[in-house]
Amino acid sequence: MTEGAESTQSTGGPESAENGAGTAERPFPDLLSDCVHCGFCLPTCPTYVLWGEEMDSPRGRIHLMGQAEEEGAFTDASVGHFDNCLGCLACVTACPSGVAYDALIETTRARVEEEHERPRAERLIRSAIFSLFPHRRRLELMRGPLRAYQASGLAGPLRSSGVLERVSPSVAAMERMAPPIKGKVPALPERVPAVGRRRAVVGMLTGCVQGAFFPQVNTATARVLASEGCEVVVPKGQGCCGALSSHSGRAEEAARFAERTVRTFEKEGVDAVVVNSAGCGGTMKHYGRVLREAGRPDDLVRRAEALSAKVVDLSEYLVALGPRAERRPLPVKAAYHDACHLSHGQGVTAQPRELLRAIPELEVADLPNPEICCGSAGVYNLLNPEPASDLGARKADDVASTKASLLIAGNPGCSLQIAATMRERGEEIAVAHTVQVLDASIRGLPPSALV
């Protein structure tokens, strides 16, 4: 260096300010170069919180991506660190330079799946997960046996025997996380009329896991929307939105799901597509990227972008619409958990709180460390059970510190993860989706409906 050595930072260029839609057009190396290595992402990264290692931080992973670019190949070590990423996107919120880590990790994961040979056992568990979860019908078929198993009293002895843990930690995690199954899935009609004067016509995504395991959340969603004056369209033939696949680098599979969802909803002519699951909404708002990544033609990408523009999280939509139905008192001490794909993925933090604040006598506490992921992260807790359960334990500590009797979250995975962790510790807590709380308040149900 010449005399007067100074600090130099190279950045991605003036256009690096653009995030979201603009990033999709920019080449991968360009997006990588936006990172100035400042480290502001470290403290919000769940794996850095756990292990304190550079290569398991967003900054370290971006460095590893750069190495892979240089060397044209992934090392086993770097794939391990990419797999360790929960994709919670807390780093995107924390980054002052506007690095599109969401786009970076998604592209990287897709490349890993394409170019990197995984060990056989890993391949098996991944294909097992992806032949089950994104498929609502198959999940619904699981309900019967799962209910029978839960009723049989086998769970206790099986868990303490540790057999499942030895067979596969992923299978053991699946067993632990399985939601309690009660009754049959109530079918939603294809059209739910608005209560009173109609204010809007909205489409509703029923989803795969939400639909099969949390049908009551979908029912509450339809009811609340209708009470607020929306005619709710629930198109038949919709399936998984593709989020789970997209978050795991299964680009082609994600694009197939996305394409189907686009085709299903665009013909309904709705004002908005309302989504009640954070992970789904986050992906659906970036359908253009999902389809472009998989090499779909431009016209389809544009149609996907048009649909994405209509996608809103339920809480976002309800706040923008403004309340009409009367809220009745719900004297419960609750805590609100920010689902990552709602807060970091979609920037939705104020709206759910605003909706909950409007319910008389409902006390809502914030959790300490709200920006840190609970470890659920889609299918992460099945693929990486150990860090997932460490993060679950941290979150459970934070939940317990609020002394709340009800935990409210906007994503089914988070509720499952936190409820299961609390149950294991003997600190059982009731969980509910934001919309279930609203629904109870609007219908004037007693607190016992939730806790």
Partner 1 sequence: MRDRPIRDRSDESPDDRSTTDPAGTDRGQADRADRADRLSALVPRLKGICGDDGVITDRARRRTYESDGLTYHAEVPGVVVLPTTAEQVAEVLGLCSAEGVPFVPRGAGTGLSAGALPRTDGVLVTTSRMRRVVEVDPDNECAVVQPGVANLDITRAAAPYGYYYAPDPSSQQVCSVGGNIAENSGGAHCLKYGFTVNHVLGLQIATPQGELVRLGGKAPEAPGYDLIGAFIGSEGTLGIATEATVRLVRTPQKVTTLLAAFTGMDAGGEAVSSVVAEGVLPAAVEMMDALSIAAAEAAVACDYPEGAGAVLIVELDGPAADVDADAAMVRRLCERAGAFEIREASGAAERARIWKGRKSAFAAVGRISPAYIVQDGVVPRTALGEVLGDIARLSAESGIRVANVFHAGDGNLHPLVLFDDAEPGAGERAAEVSGAILDLCIRHGGSITGEHGVGVDKACSMPRMFTPEDLETMDLFRRAFDPAGVANPEKLLPTPRLCGEVPGVRKDVHPLVAQGRAEQF
Instruction: Measure CA 356 to chain center.
Output: 20
Query: Which residues of the shown chain bind partner 1 in the complex (CB under 8 A)?
Result: 1-14, 16-17, 32-40, 42-43, 51-55, 59-60, 62-64, 66-67, 75, 77-78, 81, 95-98
Instruction: Measure CA 266 to chain center.
Output: 23
Cβ-based nearer residue to partner 1, 43 or 323: 43
Question: In what helix (H) or strand (E) does residue 59 lie, and over which residues does it extend?
Answer: helix 58-71
Cβ-based nearer residue to partner 1, 17 or 320: 17
Cβ-based nearer residue to partner 1, 60 or 412: 60
Residues with Cβ within 8 Å of residue 294, at least 6 apart in sequence: 251, 252, 254, 255
In whole angstroms, how close is the CB of 29 to partner 1 at the nearest point?
10
In whole angstroms, how close is the CB of 427 to partner 1 at the nearest point?
22
Residue type, 345: G
Cβ-based nearer residue to partner 1, 75 or 127: 75
Q: Which residue has the tokens 């995984």?
A: 118
If we measure between CA atoms, which residue out of 241, 66, 215 comes closest to residue 143? 215
Cα separation, 426 vs 344, in Å, equals 30
Alpha-carbon separation of residue 159 from 171, 178, 255 (angstroms): 11, 13, 38
What is the DSSP code (8-state) at residue 242? Answer: S
In whole angstroms, how close is the CB of 226 to partner 1 at the nearest point?
35
In whole angstroms, how close is the CB of 28 to partner 1 at the nearest point?
13
Cβ-based nearer residue to partner 1, 118 or 423: 118
Question: In what helix (H) or strand (E) does residue 298 lie, and over which residues does it extend?
Answer: helix 298-308
In whole angstroms, how close is the CB of 367 to partner 1 at the nearest point?
14
In whole angstroms, how close is the CB of 90 to partner 1 at the nearest point?
12
Cα separation, 215 vs 207, in Å, equals 10
In whole angstroms, how close is the CB of 32 to partner 1 at the nearest point?
7
Cβ-based nearer residue to partner 1, 63 or 143: 63
Cβ-based nearer residue to partner 1, 96 or 189: 96
Cβ-based nearer residue to partner 1, 60 or 179: 60
Cβ-based nearer residue to partner 1, 80 or 145: 80
In whole angstroms, how close is the CB of 388 to partner 1 at the nearest point?
19
Cα separation, 362 vs 53, in Å, equals 41
Sign of CA dihedral 27, 28, 33, 34: positive
Residue type, 414: C
In whole angstroms, how close is the CB of 43 to partner 1 at the nearest point?
6
If we measure between CA atoms, which residue out of 87, 89, 66 comes closest to residue 78? 66
In whole angstroms, how close is the CB of 335 to partner 1 at the nearest point?
18
Cβ-based nearer residue to partner 1, 11 or 127: 11
Cα separation, 13 vs 6, in Å, equals 20
Three-class SS of residue 332?
Answer: strand
Cα separation, 399 vs 409, in Å, equals 12
DSSP H stretches of helix in 72-168? 76-84, 90-94, 101-115, 120-132, 136-152, 155-161, 163-167
If we measure between CA atoms, which residue out of 400, 377, 375, 401 comes closest to residue 389? 375
